[in-house]
């Protein structure tokens, strides 16, 4: 007997028919003798609709009431899933975040989970192996007792946190793809499904643009050591595929140097030309951006010919581009740059792999390969297990394909 959390995403519960199909996966695990907690997302498209209603009600809506509204999508699917399971003869009940409870911070709209109390759910397991059908995406703030939500895509995080809180043997994330791929198969048809990927690599992939899992869910899986599978709800419930296991690096025998290529279009570039090259300039630029909660990612500084001034280039999320520019224009007198330039038609391509720790020259090979295709690199960053390049968005597909085959990831 094992204890497990099974999470179903929006497309897997998009209609009552699909909920019935997901319930067949639950039935299989229950009949195998397992204790099961289910976590559901809202029906696909529902959360977008709820968000739009809030905006229509008032452009500057109250964040706590926003959470009350957007958390409702999961309440519907948790109740429906419990109804379907009971109809199949499986003991089940729904649990809202505040009932479990899953405690969250008071950062409405993007709360962090601070604690999960699994006692009520475990009592149900002990009583009659009752399946706990939990609403994803939501929790409660202990002091104010208000509903909070965990940020878009937060049901993944609910599932992994619940698995940790229940000390589950594993967490299965059922979605509309059958696992984690070496890159987006829509861009590279030769992308391969991985059998295993390490927590750290998955964390980088999620942070660098892969949309399979919410970043925070991978953080929790990694710190709490929750073996997590990404698998398809559209497999035959009688005979499913295992999907991709996200696990400890030591549990992966055949390590590649590079395991995946991620890309993010959510990048914008800002360049300040001819900034005075003296102490305190970087602080004068990046201090105000940090105060305005604008996340700066890549940074490069170039010494220009005259030795007295320098060019500084950096990237920000596309959504913050205009705000960042306006802010820097307003600081023109203190920073004293000659010109501000920007581009939003850029993309960040990253290669990820724990093998980079022990192999030199991995990034250099990419720079050569991209140059041979005539692709200009605007900025580079590297860290222990990844490197990223910023290039023109028009070359996204070519660059991703080039790196994917360069590192031997093509299937077939």
Residues in contact with ligand ASP by the rule CB under 6 A: 10, 41-42, 47, 73, 136-137, 152-156
* Least separation in angstroms between CB 156 and ligand ASP: 6
Q: Which of Mg ion, ligand ASP, none lies near 243, with the C-beta cut-off 5 to 8 A by kind?
A: none
* Distance in angstroms (rounded) separating the CA atoms of residues 16 and 22: 10
* Least separation in angstroms between CB 298 and Mg ion: 26
Mapped onto helix, strand or coil, the DSSP state of residue 129 is coil
Which residue, 156 or 297, has its beta carbon nearer to Mg ion?
156
* Least separation in angstroms between CB 385 and ligand ASP: 26
- Which ranges constitute the DSSP H helices of 175-310? 199-207, 215-224, 281-291
* Least separation in angstroms between CB 295 and ligand ASP: 20
Q: How far apart are the first and last CA of the chain?
A: 38
* Distance in angstroms (rounded) separating the CA atoms of residues 407 and 190: 13
Q: Is the dihedral of CA 127, 128, 129, 130 positive or negative?
A: negative
Strands (E) located in 215-259: 228-232, 244-247
Question: Given the structure tokens 């290669």, which residue do they identify?
Answer: 351
Q: Which of ligand ASP, Mg ion, none lies near 136, with the C-beta cut-off 5 to 8 A by kind?
A: ligand ASP
Which residue, 41 or 269, has its beta carbon nearer to ligand ASP?
41
Which residue, 51 or 398, has its beta carbon nearer to ligand ASP?
51
Please list the helix, strand and coil fractions of the chain in percent, rounded to the nearest 5, in that order. 40, 25, 35
* Least separation in angstroms between CB 213 and Mg ion: 7
Where on the chain is the footprint of Mg ion (CB under 5 A)? 9, 153
Which residue, 157 or 183, has its beta carbon nearer to ligand ASP?
157
* Distance in angstroms (rounded) separating the CA atoms of residues 398 and 389: 13
Q: Among residues 72, 74, 146, which one has the least CA distance to residue 107?
A: 146
Q: Which of Mg ion, ligand ASP, none lies near 20, with the C-beta cut-off 5 to 8 A by kind?
A: none
Q: Which of Mg ion, ligand ASP, none lies near 260, with the C-beta cut-off 5 to 8 A by kind?
A: none
* Least separation in angstroms between CB 139 and ligand ASP: 12
Which residue, 10 or 124, has its beta carbon nearer to ligand ASP?
10
Which residue, 102 or 252, has its beta carbon nearer to ligand ASP?
102
Contact 90, 29 (CB under 8 A): no
């Amino acid at each position: 007997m094992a204890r497990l959390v099974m999470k179903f995403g929006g497309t897997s519960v998009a209609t009552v028919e699909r909920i019935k199909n997901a319930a067949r996966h639950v039935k299989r695990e229950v009949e195998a003798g397992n204790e099961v907690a289910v976590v559901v997302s809202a029906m696909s498209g529902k959360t977008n609709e709820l968000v739009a209603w809030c905006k229509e009600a008032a452009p500057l809506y109250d964040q706590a009431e926003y959470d009350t509204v957007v958390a409702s999508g999961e309440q519907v699917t948790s109740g429906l899933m419990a109804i379907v399971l009971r109809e199949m003869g499986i003991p089940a009940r729904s649990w809202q975040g505040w009932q479990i409870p899953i405690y969250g911070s008071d950062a409405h709209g993007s709360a962090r989970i601070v604690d999960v109390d699994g006692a009520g759910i475990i009592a149900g397991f002990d009583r009659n192996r009752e399946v706990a059908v939990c609403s994803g995406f939501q929790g409660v703030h202990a002091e104010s007792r208000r509903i909070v939500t965990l940020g878009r895509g937060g049901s993944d995080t609910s599932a992994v946190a619940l698995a940790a809180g229940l000390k589950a043997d594993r967490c299965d994330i059922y979605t509309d793809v059958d696992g984690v791929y070496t890159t987006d198969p829509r861009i590279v048809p030769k992308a391969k499904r991985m059998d295993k990927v390490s927590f750290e690599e998955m964390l980088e992939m999620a942070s660098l643009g892969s949309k399979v899992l919410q970043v925070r869910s991978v953080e929790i899986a990694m710190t709490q050591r929750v073996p997590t599978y990404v698998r398809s709800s559209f497999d035959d419930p009688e005979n499913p595929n295992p999907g991709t296991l996200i696990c400890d690096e030591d549990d992966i025998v055949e390590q590649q140097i590079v395991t995946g290529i991620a890309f993010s279009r959510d990048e914008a570039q800002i360049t300040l030309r001819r900034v005075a090259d003296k102490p305190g300039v970087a602080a004068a630029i990046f201090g105000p951006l940090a105060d305005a909660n604008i996340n700066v990612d890549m940074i490069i500084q170039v010494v220009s010919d005259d030795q007295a001034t320098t060019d500084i280039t950096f990237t920000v999320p596309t959504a913050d581009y205009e705000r960042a520019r306006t802010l820097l224009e307003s600081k023109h007198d203190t920073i004293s740059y000659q010109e501000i330039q920007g581009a939003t038609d850029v993309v960040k391509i990253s290669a990820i792999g724990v093998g980079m720790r022990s192999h030199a020259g991995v990034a250099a090979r990419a720079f050569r390969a991209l140059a041979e295709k005539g692709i200009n690199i605007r900025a580079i960053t590297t860290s222990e297990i990844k490197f990223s390049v910023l290039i023109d968005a028009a070359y996204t597909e070519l660059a991703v394909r080039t790196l994917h085959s360069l590192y031997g990831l093509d299937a077939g």
